[in-house]
Structure 1
Amino acid sequence: MSTQTKNLLDPGFELTLRPMRYPDFYERYRDAIKNTWTVEEVDLHSDVTDLAKLSAGEQHMIGRLVAFFATGDSIVANNLVLTLYKHINSPEARLYLSRQLFEEAVHVQFYLTLLDTYLPDPDERAGAFDAVENIPSIREKAQFCFKWINEVEKLDSLQTKADRRRFLLNLICFAACIEGLFFYGAFAYVYWFRSRGLLHGLATGTNWVFRDESAHMAFAFQVIDTVRQEEPDLFDDDMAKEVTAMLEEAVKAELQFAHDLCGKGLPGMNTESMREYLQCVADQRLVRLGLPARYGSENPFSFMELQNVQELTNFFERRPSAYQVAVEGSVSFDDDF
């Protein structure tokens, strides 16, 4: 067996867990196991009553929102299997990715349950599931995702620096733009409803999805950090420009979605406020990647500033006693809202 030092993106299928080369990835896997939840724990009964109270504009927003959720996590799961698991050559990282795939499946089940609960009409529900084809604002976001999947999907291995740069761009797209921007935009709408005392079942499930997505994003950024440490010449000035342009394109696509959801505006939620919020989030992703902020916007939503303290401390208090999951220490989100 060769003693040559291997890098994370070197082709192959490393199986050796001892000695462990990337113990932090393994610890992320162990932390994820402690964070187990199931869709059956989310009570949506009160949401049905709340839905009847919503205005036509608010009902439109909810319909669009759950339609996006139903497709978004499926796209992430497909990229995880087709790209990330294939090319991140670390058994510790693949353990985490296996766990992430399970979590994405739980999210898809949650959104399936939401659609079945919120949209009792079969034709309306079918239209929501086919949102990528029949809702332009969701189709635009999906096409943005597929563009970056297609860039690397056919690569059998990352043999050249160009291949590795393409892979890094795919990973950055899913961490910073999809999980880190598209989903964070969608979460803001959910917590806007919750701030008004509405749709607590949706908010409870979203809390737990939010926890998962924050962890997925943190793992992806750690992979990016590791690759940049091992191969510092990959992330050059040209890639920095591409990443900034990618975030700009993602903000533009998400703003089209905001126009669709908000229309001419709802009390406390409108396209201009979402523009500021999305630009603030995009800047945080750029800074996390060591790049200059692009927009300089502030977060306009006070209910998102409170997100890391409201209800989340109760997460493990809600666990059924039948769960055999050991939980130690405190639990909190990062503050990148």
Structure 2
Amino acid sequence: MPVNAPTTNTSVPRRGMLLDPGMDLTLRPMRYPGFYDHYRAAIRNTWTVEEVDLHSDLSDLTRLSAEEFHLVNRLVAFFATGDTIVANNLVLNLYKHLNAPEARLYLSRQLFEEAVHVQFYLTLLDTYLPDHDERAKAFAAVENIPSIRDKAAFCFRWIDSLTHTDQLHGSQDRRAFLLNLICFAACIEGLFFYGAFAYVYWLRSRGLLNGLASGTNWVFRDESMHMQFAFSAVDTIRAEEPSLFDEDLTGQVTRMMEEAVAAELAFAHDLCGDGLPGMSADDMRAYLQYVADQRLARLGMPTRYGTANPFAFMDLQDVQELSNFFERRVSAYQIGTEGTVSLDEEF
């Protein structure tokens, strides 16, 4: 054999764990078929903003009391940038460190869905706030409205926690990534957005803003699937590296959840003031604590609050049984792509 001639290695290279550094490009043999199933389910859930009719909401806006309009104004101000923050974390952290091509397929799809949500909320603001100056205030809410600024600061702190981490080499790096993943799944998408959904469905329960509720149904489905994927990733990491899941991690996650509940409760006080019919900051406190316990239970961690769901109007969006939501046939849902899909099919 000539000197420096290449040698042939017929052995199959070892494929590492989900958080091992690198960029695995090989989809076959598939290591994590469950992630691929999440991707396929998301494709079946395709929708477009053009399917949502907000025109019926225009007359409702004129019927709102000053307190109700304040709530709606604050709500759409949060929506204006909320999904963009989530998208930034997808690009800067999750896609970078989840080393499985099937996981990255799903994250690519999730990024598209976040873009659709941003478009939906842009359309929402254009419809609800036709005045240019009012829209400008809504888009600047993360800088000018304290309750929204504090929620954004909470998000940015966890995004920035991985800014200088190019690869997850040791347990400290991997714990930091786990906390980021759990924060965005359980606290931001799983608590901040669910709090926002509760306001939307409260309005719907009073016969108001059905167009907003219709679009939120689609967003709700997307966000629920985002959580399911992220929790599946956490389950995978737990199976591969159980030593990461110790009492210290549980304590950090519990404190993180407490901070998220406090930030969202401050937002509730801003929105609800002295209280509205069927919606008060105290009611929202109970609901947020209820949701927080559901997230902790899904992570296999002790619950913190032991609070019941105070909102009967959230029964159809019950966060205890997310899978049941997907199994229900909802006639208002339409697929946004060619072909057919059974909404009785398990996701």
Considering the TM-score relative to the shorter chain, is it more than 0.5? yes
For residue 224 of structure 2, the aligned residue among 214, 234, 258 is 214
Residue 51 of structure 1 corresponds to which residue in structure 2? Answer: 61
Q: How far is the alpha carbon of 1:325 from its aligned partner? A: 3.7
The answer to whether the 8 Å contact 1:313/1:331 transfers is no
The answer to whether the 8 Å contact 1:39/1:110 transfers is yes
Is it true that 1:143 corresponds to 2:160 in the alignment? no
Structure 1 residues 26 and 253 mapped into 2: Cα distance closer, same or farther (>3 Å)? same
Residue 313 of structure 1 corresponds to which residue in structure 2? Answer: 330
For residue 112 of structure 1, the aligned residue among 115, 118, 122 is 122
The answer to whether the 8 Å contact 1:34/1:325 transfers is no
Report the TM-score, using the length of structure 1 for normalisation. Answer: 0.95
Q: How far is the alpha carbon of 1:2 from its aligned partner? A: 5.8
After TM superposition, where is structure 1 displaced by more than 2 Å over at least 4 residues in a row? Answer: 1-5, 306-312
Structure 1 residues 314 and 153 mapped into 2: Cα distance closer, same or farther (>3 Å)? farther
The answer to whether the 8 Å contact 1:207/1:312 transfers is no
For residue 74 of structure 2, the aligned residue among 64, 75, 81 is 64
Structure 1 residues 50 and 218 mapped into 2: Cα distance closer, same or farther (>3 Å)? same
Residue 344 of structure 2 corresponds to which residue in structure 1? Answer: 330
Q: How far is the alpha carbon of 1:4 from its aligned partner? A: 2.9
Identity %: 70
Report the TM-score, using the length of structure 2 for normalisation. Answer: 0.92
Structure 1 residues 213 and 88 mapped into 2: Cα distance closer, same or farther (>3 Å)? same
The answer to whether the 8 Å contact 1:185/1:278 transfers is yes
Structure 1 counterpart of 2:299, one-letter code = L
The answer to whether the 8 Å contact 1:251/1:282 transfers is yes
Residue 182 of structure 1 corresponds to which residue in structure 2? Answer: 192
Q: How far is the alpha carbon of 1:305 from its aligned partner? A: 1.0
Q: How far is the alpha carbon of 1:160 from its aligned partner? A: 1.1
Matched pairs, number: 330
Give CA deviations for 1:90-130 in whole Å, capped at 9, x if unaligned: 00000000000000000000000000000011111001001
Within 2, Cα distance between the matches of 1:286 and 1:31? 25
For residue 76 of structure 1, the aligned residue among 86, 89, 92 is 86
Residue 38 of structure 1 corresponds to which residue in structure 2? Answer: 48
Is it true that 1:20 corresponds to 2:20 in the alignment? no
Structure 1 residues 182 and 331 mapped into 2: Cα distance closer, same or farther (>3 Å)? farther
Structure 1 residues 329 and 199 mapped into 2: Cα distance closer, same or farther (>3 Å)? closer
Within 1, Cα distance between the matches of 2:313 and 2:339? 31
Structure 2 counterpart of 1:82, one-letter code = L
Residue 29 of structure 1 corresponds to which residue in structure 2? Answer: 39
Q: How far is the alpha carbon of 1:235 from its aligned partner? A: 1.4
The answer to whether the 8 Å contact 1:312/1:332 transfers is no
The answer to whether the 8 Å contact 1:277/1:298 transfers is yes
Residue ranges of structure 1 left out of the alignment (5+ in a row): none
